[in-house]
Amino acid sequence: MRVVIAGGHGKIALKLEQQLAANGDTAVGIIRNVEHAADLRELSAEPVVLDLENARVDEVAATLDGADAAVFAAGAGPGSGAPRKDTVDRAAAVLFAEAAERAGVRRFVQISSMGAGRTIPPSVEEVFAVYLRAKAAAEEDLRTRDLDWTILRPGRLTDEPGTGLVHLAESVPRADVPREDVAAVVVELVADAVTAGRTLELTSGNTPIDEALSRL
């Protein structure tokens, strides 16, 4: 299986690439910085240098050509301001989804965020509120597309080792989840379109990943 990942040097993406390679799959990571290419190659992933904030849709579609699945795992990052929440977390996601349609890559997994699509309390810091609105807008766009899409909304991300035990459903209580477990769930999601058309929330829990998916 060939999987193209937007945001290929992100923390979730690096773990995803490593897990896909361990399964014998081909991971293609789209990165902005050429200096990150060596990190992907060390994980047996193929780097593609392309700035999704400035790329044309045909350029992205060419990268997706021949892929079995696409994963949007890009994000502006915690140190970025409100404008890049829109250009990365919304606009780049929309571009990537449009490119997948053009390239005929039907299986599409979008990593979003728990809290997207919900009412944002006034107490939420403004840049984070912009981030949640950007994620929600990207979700809304994806739902209109002719793709076998799944939206995954993880809880607060941590760098703790994965446990393989999760809580995965359309709505779950807020909690943390290791990035390693998010990647492991995405590996399963891209391999099977049974969750197509669904928006799922993910946190750490007590259920093995394969069992949590089978319950869906």
DSSP the chain: -EEEEESTTSHHHHHHHHHHHHTT-EEEEEES-GGGHHHHHHTTPEEEE--TTT--HHHHHHHHTT-SEEEE-----TT--HHHIIIIIIIIHHHHHHHHHHHT--EEEEE--TTTTSPPPTTS-HHHHHHHHHHHHHHHHHHTSSSEEEEEEE-EEE-SPP-SEEEEESS----EEEHHHHHHHHHHHHH-GGGTTEEEEEEE-SEEHHHHHHH-
Asked if 57 contacts 98 with a C-beta cutoff of 8 angstroms, the reply is yes
**131 among known catalytic residues:** yes
Q: Among candidates 214, 91, 209, 101, which has minimal Cα distance to 148?
A: 101
Q: Which of 131, 138, 155, 183 is catalytic?
A: 131
Token reading at 101? 């349609």
Q: Which residues are catalytic?
A: 131
